[in-house]
Chains A and B, each alone.
Chain A
Amino acid sequence: MTTVPRLVEGAQRPRRRKNAAGGKRLVPYLFIAPFLVLFAVFLVTPIFVALWNSLFSAQSLGLGFGGVQTVFVGLDNFIRAFVDSDFIASFGRVLLYGLVQVPVMMIFATALAMLFDSALVRGKRFFQFAVFLPYAIPGVIAALLWGFLYQPAVSPLLQGLQNLGISPDLLAPGTVLWSITNVSIWSYTGINMIILFSALQAIPREMFEAARLDGAGELRIAISIKLPMIAPAVMLTILSSIIGTLQLFNEPQVLKSVTSSISSDYTPNMAIYAASTLGKDSHLGSAMAIILGVVTLLISVVLLKSRSDSKEGVGD
C-alpha cells in the first residue's frame, strides 16, 4: 500500500510494518499484555469454569442439616436440562418470538430508512430523532416504561381503548410474548434504521438516474435497485438480531414483576438465571449456559454459512 521505499531492513523481511530493533521485541507484548491477561481470566477461564462446574452437583448430607457436599455427577446436569420440559419450551418460545420480532422490526426499519432516503419526508430531522430516541433509553428502562403502559390502572393507552369498549389484557399468558416483542421492536428499530439509512445513502446516485431514463418509477427503483443494493447490510442486521433473540433476558425479566404470566424460566437466559440464584444450583445453571452457548454458536455458523452460500449462488 505504501509507496515510500524501506531503506533499512525492508529487503530482508517482506512485511510492511515491523519492529525497528531487536531490543524492542518485547514492546508489542507489553502493549497487548493487559488485554491478554483480562481475556484469559474473564473470557477463557469462565468457559472452562462452566464446563468443570457443570460436571458436579451439590448434594446435602444426611437429613439436610449436615451441610452440602460437591460430588462428581458426569453429564447428569445436561440430562436434567434436556428432560426439563420448561427449559426446552423456553427455546421454542424465543424462537417464536424471533420469528415475529425480527421480520417486523426489519420491515419497519427498512421501510423507514427507504422513506428517509427518498425526498418524500418533510421534517426529516425531527422524525429521525423520534425513531432513534428509544435507542438512547436502556432496554431495562424501556421495559419498565412499557410495563406501566400495559397496566390498565395507569395506562392511557388502555384507558383510551376502554372508552371505545375494548379492554385487551396485554399481560395475559397468550399475549404477553407479543407485549415483549413490542418492547424490543420499539427499542431496536431506530439503530437498524440508521444503519440501513447510511447503507442507502452510500449507493451511487447515478444508478437511479440511469433507471429513470429507462422509465422506472420511484417505487420500482426502491424495489429493484435500492433493496438489492442494501441486501448485505440487511442480512447482517438480521443475523445479529437472530442471535440477540436467543439471549432474550432483560425485557421479560423486568415485565415479570407486573404479571404472573411470565414464569421464572420463560427464556433460556431466565432459566439460567433462576437456576443459578433462586434454585441455588449453579451447576445446573452452568450446564444450561453451555447448552445455550452451543446452540447460539451453531445457529451463527449455519447462518453465516448460508449467507456465504447464497452469495456464491448469485455469482458474486
Chain B
Amino acid sequence: MSEARLIAAKTEKARGLRRNSSSKMVDGDRVSRGWMLVVTIAMVVAAVYFLFPVVWLLIASTKSTGELFTTNGLSFGEFHLFDNLAALGSYDGGIYWRWVLNSIIYSVFGSILTTFVCAATGYALAIYRFRGRKVILGLVMGSMLIPGTVIAQPTYVLLVSMGLNNTYAGLLLPALVYPFGVLLCYIYGQSSVPIELIEAARLDGAGEFRIFGSIGLRLMSSGLVTVLLFAFLGSWNSYMLPLLVLTDQNLMPLTVGLVGWNQSSITIPSLQILTIVGSLVSVVPIAVVFVALQRFWRSGLTAGGIRG
C-alpha cells in the first residue's frame, strides 16, 4: 500500500538537494505566542489519540481477568503482569511461543531470502544488458499494480493444488516474489554501483558472482536494508494468506493465532487477558526495533534512490 508513496517521497527528496537549511531561524522569528499555544494543544490532543490504545494495552496487561472488567481501564489494579506472562507461556502447551517462532521464521528468514532474490535481480537488470531485459522491467513495473490481497485467493487455490497448504514453504515461497523490492534494488544498483569498479574487478580476474557478492551487495547495502525492512514488515503484518493457507495451529504466525484466541475468548474468558498480553509481547520488540532504526530506514526511504 505504501509503495507508491515511497516513490513520491523519493522524487520529492531529489528536489530537496537544492534545499538551503540556513534560513530555518527566519521561521522562528515570526512565531506568535498565541499560535504556539493553539498548536501545542492540538499536538497534545493528537498524541493522546495516537498513544491511547498503546497506553491502555500496557495497563491492561498488568491486570487479572477479573480486574479487566471491574477496574477503570486507565488505572492500575494489582500487578499481575508476570502471572499473565507465565500463563501466556504455558497455555495450550506453550503454543504462543510456537507462534512467535513461526512469525520469526516467516518474517526474518523470509525477508532475508526475499532481499537476496531482489538484490540479484535488480543488480542484473542494472549492470548487464541482455535480451529480454526491457520485458522483465516492464513485468516488474506492471505487477506492482496487483495488490497482494487480490492474489491471495488464487495463490491459495494454487497452493492447495500443489499440496503446499499447511506447510512452511506454502507461506514462504509466495512472499519471495516482491516486484517493488526488485524495482528498488534496480534503482540502487544503477545509482550506487559504478561500472568502472566492476570492470576493474573483471580485469583482476574476479568472476561475475564474486563481483556481485563482494562489490555489488556491499555498495547496495543501505538500499538493501530498506528492502529488508519492508519485506519484513509485509510478512509480519500478513494476515489474509496465512488465514487461508494454514489450518494447523502449529504453523500459524502470531497474527492468526492471536485473532483466533480473541474469537475463542467469547467461550473461554481467560483467553481475553492472554490475547492482551500476547499483543503486548508481540508489539514491544517490533516497535522498539522500528523506532530505533527509524533514522536508518527513513533515510533509505527518502535518499536511497539518489546516492552515488
Contact of A154 among B22, B73, B294 (CB under 8 A): B73
A273 contacts B9, C-beta separation under 8 Å: no
Closest partner residue, chain A, to B1 (CB atom): A244
Known: A155-B73, A198-B13, A297-B145. Is A49-B154 also a contact (CB below 8 A)? yes
Chain B's closest residue to A218 (CB) is B30
Cβ of B78 under 8 Å from chain A: no
A121 at the B interface (CB under 8 A): yes
Segment with Cβ contacts to B, from A58-66, A81-89, A144-152, A170-178: A144-152
- B191 CB to nearest chain A CB (Å): 10
Is A29 in contact with B130, judged by CB distance below 8 angstroms? yes
Residues of B within 8 A of A292 (CB): 150
* A98-136 contact mask (Cβ, 8 Å, vs B): 1 or 0: 000000000000001001001111110011011111111
Complex CA distance for A36 and B43, rounded to whole angstroms: 48
Given A35-B118, A198-B302, A243-B147, are A154 and B69 also a contact pair (CB < 8 Å)?
yes
Check B153–A212 contact: CB distance below 8 A.
no
B74 cross-chain contacts in A, Cβ below 8 A: 156
Extra contacts, 12 of them, besides A35-B121, A50-B157, A247-B150 (Cβ < 8 A), are: A131-B46, A138-B239, A156-B74, A186-B49, A195-B5, A208-B27, A233-B8, A241-B1, A254-B259, A269-B149, A276-B156, A293-B146
Query: Are B12 and A233 within 8 A (Cβ)?
Result: yes
Whether the Cβ atoms of B154 and A50 lie closer than 8 Å is yes
Q: Which 10 A-B pairs have the closest CB atoms?
A: A156-B73, A202-B16, A31-B124, A46-B154, A50-B154, A199-B12, A28-B128, A236-B8, A119-B27, A130-B47
Given contacts A28-B124, A35-B121, contact A133 B5 (CB under 8 A): no
Given A25-B130, A249-B149, is A257 in contact with B157 using a C-beta cutoff of 8 Å? no
Q: How many residues on the A side are at the interface (Cβ–Cβ under 8 A)?
A: 120
B residues near A232, Cβ cutoff 8 Å: 8, 11-12
- CB contacts under 8 Å to A, within B163-204, are 173-174, 176-177, 179, 182, 195-196, 199, 202
A110 to chain B, nearest CB (A): 13
The answer to whether the Cβ of A302 comes within 8 Å of any Cβ in the partner chain is no
Q: How far is the CA of A282 from the CA of B258 in the complex (A)?
A: 26
A32 pairs with B121, CB closer than 8 A:
yes
Instruction: Report the interface size class on chain B.
Output: 35 or more
A38 in contact with B173 (CB, 8 Å):
yes
Residues of the B chain whose Cβ atoms lie less than 8 Å from the Cβ of A132? 291, 294
- B208, CB-defined interface residue at 8 Å: yes
User: Does A191 sit within 8 A of B, measured CB to CB?
Assistant: yes
Q: What is the bound-complex CA distance between A304 and B262, given in angstroms?
A: 40
Candidate in A19, A198, A201 with the most chain B CB atoms within 10 angstroms: A198
Taking A31-B120, A42-B173 as contacts, is the C-beta distance between A191 and B239 under 8 angstroms? Answer: no
Q: Which of B52-60, B82-90, B91-99, B220-228 contacts A (4 or more CB under 8 A)?
A: B52-60
* Complex A-B: 30 CB contacts under 8 Å: A16-B195, A17-B127, A20-B199, A29-B130, A35-B117, A46-B157, A119-B24, A120-B36, A131-B47, A133-B50, A138-B236, A139-B239, A142-B53, A147-B262, A148-B60, A157-B73, A198-B16, A204-B16, A204-B19, A232-B12, A233-B12, A236-B4, A240-B2, A243-B1, A247-B147, A254-B259, A254-B262, A273-B244, A293-B150, A293-B151
Provide the main secondary structure of the chain B interface. helix
CA distance A19 to B199 in the complex (A): 10
CA distance A107 to B276 in the complex (A): 32
Would you give the shortest CB distance from A286 to chain B, in whole angstroms? 6
Given A27, A129, A186, A258, which contacts B53 in the complex, CB threshold below 8 Å? A186
Q: Does B287 contact A (CB under 8 A)?
A: yes
A239 touches B4 (CB 8 A): yes
The one of A35, A133, A149 in contact with B291, judged by C-beta atoms closer than 8 angstroms, is A133
Give the most central of A42, A130, A141: most B CB within 10 Å: A141
